[in-house]
Amino acid sequence: PSLALYGVAEEARSHGYWTNLVTVPDVSIASLGAAIRSLSQGAVDGILVLAPMTGLKLALSELGRNIPLVTFD
């Protein structure tokens, strides 16, 4: 994952974007929701996630936000 994260950060930077890394203690809906809320308090154009989609979709739907999302593993 570290090589993928580095590649994502470099590609984003080459297009004028910055990246933030947020880690969670587990992939529970509560942890994912807290991370998304933290990110969405700033200027966020999109979120890349390395996490199971099931909990993530629910966490996003509970927040009622329409943020572009990309997942990878």
Return the C-alpha torsion angle 20, 65, 29, 45, nearest 10. -20
Beta bridge partners of 69: 47
Phi, psi of 22, rounded to the nearest 5 degrees: -125, 125
- Over the stretch 7-61, which tens digit does the pLDDT of each residue have? 989 999 999 999 988 888 887 778 878 888 888 888 888 888 776 666 666 666 6
Chain centroid, CA 2 distance in Å: 15
Angle between helices 53-63 and 29-40 in degrees, nearest 10: 50
Does the pTM exceed 0.85? Answer: no
